[in-house]
Amino acid sequence: MGCKLLAALSAFSVMPAFAAPTIYEAEDLPGASVAEGAEFSGGKYAKTADPSGITFTVKVEETAVYDITTKVLIKQYDWTTSKIAVNGVDVGSMLTTPRNCDSSYVVSASAKMKAGENKITVGNQALGVDYITVERHPDAVFKISELPVTPNATESARKVYTYLRDNFGKKTVSGMMISDQNFNYDYGNMRLIPPGGCTPADSCKFNDEEVSWKGQTDIAEFYKRSGHYPAIGGFDMLFAAGGHHEEGWFKGYTENNLLMTEDLWNMGGIPTYTWHWKVGEDTVFYTQGTPAGFNNPGCTEGVMGTSNTNTCFNYTKAFKGEQCQELDETSQEYKDIVADVDIVSGYFKQLQDKGIAVVWRPLHEASGGWFWWGTASPECYVQLYRLVFDRMVKTNKLTNLIWVWNINTDPKFGYDYSALNAAWYPGDEYVDIVAVDIYDPLNDHNSAANYYNKIVSDVGTSKMIALSENGAIPDIDSIAEDKAYWSYWMTWSQTWSGNFLEKTPTDMWKRNLDDERIIALDDMPGWDNVKADIRMARRIGSNNLAVNMQGNQVTVSLAHAGAASIALFDLLGHKVASLAQGNLPAGTTAFNLDGIASGHYIVRVKVGSTSLAKKISLK
């Protein structure tokens, strides 16, 4: 099969202008050996004897985040050891798409560079490099809706949303996950014993302070290191459904979630929930092996149940069609899904009745494939997410939830920021916050601007962006310098062998939590002092617009048909070509760019009231 040249692309909100990048040719570097590469779309590809690759010296005028593009000649296996590094720190990999033959590729990365000279290293000694381009990453301009996506959201939900929106881009809210729990339970009568409720006959294991939210091990350890309590508390519906969920300790765990949530809310904190979802009577949510989940050879037709390590639940059977276009309400899979959603909805309804709002992150780490909801196609995942939303909001009348969608890397493309896959995005009308989980890449406490900017690029600027799980925390100075203001971060648990609090040194904990740009619990104003928007909530109009490159074609994807205007501009704003004018059907439409000269361009798309500008490079 032949190999095609892939164009590197970056997307931004609509900007008034894009500055032309500075180009550095590898062939001009001292000691570079050059071979003609005409058979690979032209160019001169330089190699080096240095195992780390070819290094460019780049001088910039200001400390900022810069976009780096490079054209490389990669043989079949070269990518496995090829990186893009800035000043000795890896900022991206060459693995942008599966490849199985020799070809040239244009790949990109983003990185912070200091004013003055910086070293950019590309590839390895076997990899040919044609050039790099460097340009300052444009500052994103966010336009966040005034109201959450849930119609007629409760006053408490609007208060939480308003508070997060008003602080987005200025401050970051601190958070901590609870895994293990301290609670007292009367197993004979199947009831949770609240603080102050213990009698001598109960033989309670924990005192009242230990069963409070502040007394939970994960939260107490957070305070010990930082001198503050986090403003956001993380909870899990882990045992709300699935096998054993009605049994003593499991039921107690879920009921204690609600008790701690109320405790945190009354102190002015923000509760957030995720759901490691075990369906029906299943007892695991992980998939194992290749292929994963219900595609695993160990799974048999009609099996929902489990082994110790693998769930065989096939949620696509709850739908009809190859892309899960239609619900199959007669299927057992559909019945299992909605039964579990109804159970969880019942718990959230208890909180709603008490005036408590929740930041809700269902079906998290979407494209990773290690959970059963991530083992099918992006199209089916989107329909599953919408089913959960519609069941909770429309059927079960939950109006106290702020909806978080968790973008993730896709193993088909790699595990760094460049592999984040926005094809799994459910649509603007279903999401309030886009979040990502980052662990090892934050060990040096950088801002993770690569991930932040990739989300802006692929999802847009109409949603807040958060760090929904992390090991080490991003340092607030780095966040501010890179203009990567996460709405919040939430360190994963110390208990259950997590030990993630230890990823951040004590002095870093204290310095960040003492900083006025980080919001701790004692910085929260109290919900009585937060004013909610009094306008009626509305759904955000959206065509779920996405623009991508495939070879020499631009693809435009819409969830719904609409009148569209699509044009190609050069970097000076001159129109090069009109690609479409008129009604565009739902689905994906491709536009061929054959005949367009190589260079950098902007694709501008307007569909109804939704618009998007995407920068592309043609080689």
* pLDDT at site 352: 98
pLDDT in tens, 428-460: 999 999 999 999 888 889 999 989 998 998 898
Q: Assess whether the previous peptide bond of 505 is cis (omega < 30° from 0).
A: no
Both structure tokens of 351: 């909180």
Q: Which two tokens stand for residue 350?
A: 């208890």
> What domain count does the chain have?
3
Domain with 52, as residue range(s), is 19-136
Q: Are residues 465 and 336 in the same domain?
A: yes
Residues 326 and 461 in one domain: yes
Q: Is residue 329 located within the same domain as residue 354?
A: yes
Is residue 371 in some structural domain? yes
Residue 54's domain is classified under what CATH number?
2.60.120.260
For residue 186, give the amino acid letter: D
What band does 547 get if pLDDT is binned at 50, 70 and 90?
A: confident
The answer to whether residue 365 is catalytic is: yes
Q: Which residue among 498, 529, 560 closes a domain?
A: 529
Q: End-to-end CA distance of the chain, in Å?
A: 20
pLDDT of residue 478: 94
> Does residue 12 belong to any structural domain of this protein?
no
On whether residue 4 sits in a domain, the answer given is no
Residue finishing a domain among 471, 499, 529: 529
Domain boundary among the residues 103, 136, 169 is at: 136
Residue 524 lies in a domain: yes
For residues 350 and 263, the answer to whether their CB atoms sit within 8 Å is: no
Say if residue 203 is exposed, middle or buried (CB neighbours under 10 Å; 0-12, 13-18, 19+): exposed
For residues 287 and 296, give the distance between their C-alpha atoms in angstroms, rounded to a whole number.
8
Residues 402 and 481 in one domain: yes
Same domain? For 66 and 209 the reply is no
* Least confident span in 264-278, 390-404, 518-532, 590-604: 590-604
CA distance 181 to 493: 11
Give tens-digit pLDDT for 109-157.
Answer: 888 899 999 999 987 766 788 899 999 988 888 999 999 999 999 999 9
DSSP 299-319: --TT---B-SS-B---GGGGE
Rounded CA separation 606/567 (Å) = 9
Distance CA 82, CA 170 (A): 36
Distance, in Å, from the CA atom of 473 to the CA atom of 330, rounded to the nearest integer, reads: 46
pLDDT band with cut points at 50, 70 and 90 for residue 7: very low
d(CA 188, CA 439): 42
The pLDDT-based confidence of 1 (bands split at 50, 70, 90) is very low
Same domain for 403 and 260: yes
Confidence of residue 546 (pLDDT cuts 50, 70, 90): confident
* Mean pLDDT of all residues in 545-551: 72
Q: Are residues 175 and 316 in the same domain?
A: yes
| CA–CA distance, 207 with 247 (Å, rounded to integer) | 23
* Residues 159 and 108 reside in one and the same domain: no
Strands 553-558 and 546-550: what pairing? antiparallel
Asked if the model's pLDDT at residue 541 lies above 60, the reply is no
pLDDT of residue 306: 55
One of 365, 379, 481, 516 is an active-site residue; which one? 365
Nearest 5°: phi and psi at 199? -115, 165
| Average per-residue pLDDT for the chain | 86
Report which DSSP code applies to 517.
T
Greater confidence (103 vs 67) lies with 67
In a domain, 5, yes or no: no
Catalytically annotated residue among 146, 326, 469, 481: 469
Residues 473 and 592 occupy one common structural domain: no
The domain that contains 612 carries what CATH number?
2.60.40.3080
- For residue 362, give every residue at least 6 positions away whose Cβ sits within 8 Å of its Cβ, in sequence order, or none: 274, 275, 277, 385, 388
Q: Which residue has the higher pLDDT, 230 or 90?
A: 230
The pLDDT of residue 98 is 44
List own/partner pairs for 209-217 with CB under 8 A and 24 or more apart. Answer: 210/182, 211/182, 211/183, 211/184, 211/256, 212/260, 212/263, 213/260, 213/263, 213/264, 213/267, 213/269, 215/182, 216/178, 216/180, 216/181, 216/182, 216/260, 217/180, 217/182, 217/494, 217/495
Residues 6+ apart with CB under 8 A from 168: 142, 144, 464, 465, 485, 487
pLDDT at 15 over 50: no
| pLDDT tens column, 314-364 | 999 999 999 999 999 999 999 999 999 999 999 999 999 999 999 999 999
Same-domain check for residues 190 and 295 = yes
Per-residue H/E/C for 324-351: CCEECCCCHHHHHHHHHHHHHHHHHHHH
Largest Cα–Cα distance in the chain?
86
Tokens of 21: 């990048």
Which residues contact residue 228 at a Cβ distance below 8 angstroms, ignoring those fewer than 6 apart? 174, 222, 513, 514, 520, 521, 522
